[in-house]
Amino acid sequence: MNGTFFEPAFSHVYVEERAADLPQTKRILQKLPDAHVIMIRHYKDVFNFSGQDARIQSRSLSLILADEPDPRVYRGAPVCQDFGNKAFYYTSTVMNCVYDCEYCYLKGMYPSANLVVFTDQSRTFAEVDRLLALYPVYLCISYDTDLAAIEPLTGFLQEWYAFAAERPDLTLEIRTKCANKGLLSTLPALSNAIWAFTLSPDAVADRYEKKAPGLSMRIAAARLAVSRGIPVRLCFDPMLRFPGWEEEYRKLAQTVREAFKPGQIRDISIGSFRIGAQYLGQLRARHPDSALAQYPYKVCGGVAGYGEKSREMTAYMTGLLDGWIGRGKMFLWEEQEV
């Protein structure tokens, strides 16, 4: 569809009445001076309304600013890699992602493509402090969104960095496809804040991650992070299966091996595409014309994936990177773990 049919992203901002007076809400609104603001009673009145067409919404994202009374800290899901951490949690202070990658589980999880930002993170910080009193915590803060991509709007990473700097028992993981060098240049290099860059072959990035920076930009950003002493994880996850996938992932491994010395990388993760079976139906409805969404996946233990071919893909990528980085630094997701 022609882009001129649609309003620009964030042309409309819905603001919960109880969030309207929060300083964080006002700070975000100041950054969108041309946006039309609509006051709402509860974010779910807009976000959860039945029958939304998320495919159309993704062409013109609206922003919803809300105040969540409960802390948004959750135990990591079985389909996520815990990197050997027992107290493995994630936060969800933002729901949905501006990158709109075609395979993303968020499309199956949420009824809307619009972005919800819970502007006040203080209750989430308090909950993390409560957990830290019990044990060291490994916390993924960029799972249900890409926080780095919207940092100019929210300033949330700055807040997390200030929080983590004083809590050595807290380890943050910032999963991202963002290549914002300005951000990486200004944030301090905290040893307990890991930047986990998702790397995909050009063929995947061009076709399925259209709104995200391309591979070369992500690698350049990761190199900058490395040069500043920021802990960097490289994520070859999700690996996708398509005609010629082996060659594309071989080229990706080659590019990575040339771009980084193994000692510069904290660790890597490898995993094939998988998604909760109940989310797959939604994903397919939203992308009826996507080969990726319509692939005949195998469902096992409530998770849809490539079945026995998953192991083949993981082994292939492991083989490509073996010898460059030690096995002890490789974290693999394999289907039978779920």
Cis previous bond, 213, omega within 30: no
- 50-56 contacts, C-beta under 8 A, 24 or more apart: 50/111, 52/111, 52/112, 52/113, 54/107, 54/110, 54/111, 54/112, 54/113, 54/286, 55/113, 55/286, 55/287
3-state secondary structure of 21: coil
126 binds another protein (CB under 8 A): no
Minimum CB–partner distance for residue 60 and another protein (Å): 4
Q: Establish how many alpha carbons lie within 13 A of residue 304's alpha carbon, considering only the half-sphere containing its beta carbon.
A: 19
Only segment of 7-15, 69-77, 155-163, 272-280 that touches another protein (CB under 8 A): 7-15
103 binds another protein (CB under 8 A): no
Closer to another protein by CB, 2 or 30: give it: 2
The tokens of 60 are what? Answer: 């013109």
Q: Assess contact for 280 and 246: CB atoms under 8 A.
A: no
Closer to another protein by CB, 17 or 21: give it: 17
309 binds another protein (CB under 8 A): yes
33 binds another protein (CB under 8 A): no
Closer to another protein by CB, 101 or 170: give it: 101
Tell me how far apart the alpha carbons of residues 107 and 304 are, in angstroms, rounded to a whole number.
15
Only segment of 59-67, 75-83, 147-155, 313-321 that touches another protein (CB under 8 A): 59-67
Among 23, 33, 84, 243, binds another protein (CB under 8 A): 243
162 binds another protein (CB under 8 A): no
Tell me how far apart the alpha carbons of residues 152 and 184 are, in angstroms, rounded to a whole number.
12
133 binds another protein (CB under 8 A): no
62 binds another protein (CB under 8 A): yes
Closer to another protein by CB, 6 or 316: give it: 6
60 binds another protein (CB under 8 A): yes
- 28-34 contacts, C-beta under 8 A, 24 or more apart: 28/63, 28/65, 28/117, 28/119, 28/153, 28/154, 29/65, 31/152, 31/153, 32/63, 32/153
171 binds another protein (CB under 8 A): no
Minimum CB–partner distance for residue 115 and another protein (Å): 13
57 binds another protein (CB under 8 A): yes
Minimum CB–partner distance for residue 160 and another protein (Å): 31
Among 23, 33, 51, 69, binds another protein (CB under 8 A): 51
Query: What letter does residue 34 receive in the DSSP assignment?
Result: T
Q: Assess contact for 64 and 58: CB atoms under 8 A.
A: no
Among 233, 241, 274, 286, binds another protein (CB under 8 A): 241
Among 15, 28, 35, 46, binds another protein (CB under 8 A): 46
27 binds another protein (CB under 8 A): no
Only segment of 153-161, 211-219, 291-299, 329-337 that touches another protein (CB under 8 A): 291-299
Q: Which amino acid is at 290?
A: S
Tell me how far apart the alpha carbons of residues 310 and 163 are, in angstroms, rounded to a whole number.
38
Provide CB contacts within 8 A for 30, sequence distance 6+.
none
Minimum CB–partner distance for residue 204 and another protein (Å): 14
Q: At 95, phi and psi to the nearest 5?
A: -110, 125
Residues in the site for another protein, rule: CB under 8 A?
A: 1-2, 4-7, 11-12, 14, 36, 38-41, 45-46, 49-53, 56-57, 59-60, 62, 241-243, 288-291, 294-296, 309
